Amino acid sequence: MAAAVPSGLHDLDTLPSLSASNSWGPIEKNLSNGEQGKGDGRPLSVGGETFARGLGMHAQGQIRYRLDGRCTSLTARVGIDDEVGNRGSAAFLVSGDGVRLFDSGLRRGGERALGLTVRLSGVRELTLTVTDGGDGIAYDHADWAAATLDCRVSPPPPAPSAFTYAAVAAQPDRVSEAQGEVVGGRLYVFGGFDSRKPCCTPTDRAQVYDPATDAWTPLPAVPGRGMTHAGMTTDGTDIFFAGGYVANSAWTAQVYGTRAVWRYNVAGRSYSRLPDLPVDTAAGQLEELNGDLHYFGGTNPERTRDLGDHYVLKAGTSAWTPAAPLPLPRHHLASAVVGGRIYAIGGQVGHDSKLVTQAAAHVYDPATDAWSALAPLPRARSHMGNSTFLLAGRIVVAGGETSHDVPMTDVTAYDPAKNTWTPMSPLPQARASGVAGAIGTGFVFTGGTSTATGWKATPTP
């Protein structure tokens, strides 16, 4: 799990990438592509202008960086390196969370470098791509010269408060209590209660929504007899889930807890088992922070205790270790990571007709291993753990329930800099236990309250 880009102004060649691919030799740092060996390029030069820093690539090539919404802009000078003369042609593409942000058009050998500045506010994953322009890859030595990322700490832009909702393609099945994350501009949805069976059996079905085509595509089945009430997170490349309810061996009912932890490899469409949690648990939250996994909150398999337990799986280790417990033990809560800290929001104590929703919010600082209280939600709610996400530097909480089986339309944004909550345009229909995630400048919300339908939310000008 690669750590996110830290705060500051960075030369792109100094930063670790999530992945990198190149059609001819490796991607070079501060050198042209050269030949197939590492470090065999020349000083970067485009249109007779020489550059001390940057990346030397070759079509077809691509490199990805994890930003976690911390950066505001990318600047660079792009073009075909002078080492190929007037040969070669390529297009330079910049994408954020799977959405195209910049297209240079076809650049040819001998042309002057093209300057670019691309706004990245709110972008979690940055992708730089070089294509061959449709005429083959011969001599396509493509330079991202003087490439810098501006990730200096500054007040985030105002979050949009007004949205227009439009229907999106329905999921293949009605679902509640599913889990989901956005990776590469697509919304991945796993498990939930199986609407093809009487209540309440977890399903192992999973699917991904592509907003570019407004279509759902099946994914490999979830291992371990399906899941619901699991904690889920992403590092921008893979998706992780821990704990939760699973189906019994007959697939006719639910088992109220597991200690299993899994990684879903998005690129490889495969699952792999990670070290188990110390105990069987469910309905807690999972967050990834600087390569470490944090699981906190939840309930025991007997559903007799509300848990504040907090466990950490540090990068490169094989066992979870205790950390500072959540001050108010609870479950069915929401969470997010902003600025290197973990936020725990709302939730409930008790279950079913005896549950009491909570408005409390807390923030965890790993540097001090301590939680602090924050401004509470305007209205207590739970069952919104998978419909809470980052958008324009704010934590957006969409839907949920105010009491047992009473869903709500509220959409509310928390500003970490001001410790304040702001109401946003409500959902078109009350939903609890849905899945939502930020895509571009808006978000997609799907399922929940035993439905399959959903909406795309677009900021209102």
Q: What value does the mean pLDDT take over residues 56-79?
A: 93
Q: Within a domain: residue 369?
A: yes
| Residue 179 and residue 141 share a domain | no
| Residue 372 and residue 237 share a domain | yes
For residue 207, say if its preceding peptide bond is cis, omega within 30 degrees of 0. Answer: no
pLDDT for residue 73: 93
Note the Cα 344 to chain centre separation in Å: 17
Q: In residues, how long is the chain?
A: 461
| Residue 315 and residue 353 share a domain | yes
Q: How many domains does the chain have?
A: 2
Residue 75 neighbours by CB under 8 Å, 6+ apart: 115, 116, 117, 118, 146, 147, 148, 150
pLDDT band per the 50, 70, 90 thresholds, residue 97: confident
pLDDT of 280-331, one tens digit each?
A: 999 999 999 878 999 999 999 999 999 999 999 998 899 999 999 999 999 9
| Residue 188 and residue 120 share a domain | no
pLDDT of 361-389, one tens digit each?
A: 999 999 899 999 999 999 999 999 999 99
| Residue 293 and residue 265 share a domain | yes
pLDDT for residue 48: 94
Of 38 and 220, the structure prediction assigns the larger pLDDT to 220
Span between the terminal Cα atoms of the chain, in Å: 37
- pLDDT at position 246 over 90: yes
Q: What value does the mean pLDDT take over residues 233-258?
A: 95
| Residue 256 and residue 146 share a domain | no
Q: Within a domain: residue 379?
A: yes
Q: Within a domain: residue 56?
A: yes
> Tokens at residue 169, please?
């393609």
| Residue 188 and residue 145 share a domain | no
Which segment of 17-26, 163-172, 200-209 scores lowest on mean pLDDT?
Answer: 17-26
CATH number for the domain including 246?
2.120.10.80
CA gap 416, 393 in Å, rounded: 8
Q: Give the burial class of 377: count Cβ atoms within 10 A of its Cβ; 0-12 exposed, 13-18 middle, 19 or more buried.
A: buried
In terms of residue numbers, what domain contains 44? 8-151
pLDDT for residue 135: 86
pLDDT for residue 267: 87
| Residue 325 and residue 202 share a domain | yes
Instruction: Write the DSSP string, 177-200.
Output: S-EEEEETTEEEEE--B-TTSSS-
CA gap 40, 25 in Å, rounded: 9
The reply to whether the predicted model has a pTM over 0.85 is no
- pLDDT at position 352 over 60: yes
CA gap 5, 65 in Å, rounded: 8
pLDDT of 148-188, one tens digit each?
A: 999 987 655 566 789 999 999 999 999 999 999 999 899 99
> Nearest Cα to 269, choosing from 207, 315, 215?
207
Residue with token string 């997010």: 336
- pLDDT at position 1 over 60: no
CA gap 196, 450 in Å, rounded: 11
Which segment of 44-48, 82-86, 131-135 scores lowest on mean pLDDT?
Answer: 131-135
pLDDT for residue 325: 98
pLDDT for residue 207: 98
Domain endpoint, select from 116, 151, 186: 151
265 forms beta bridges with 270
pLDDT for residue 245: 98
CATH number for the domain including 13?
2.60.120.1060
Q: What is the mean pLDDT of the chain?
A: 94
Q: Within a domain: residue 98?
A: yes
CA gap 342, 362 in Å, rounded: 8
Q: What value does the mean pLDDT take over residues 265-281?
A: 96
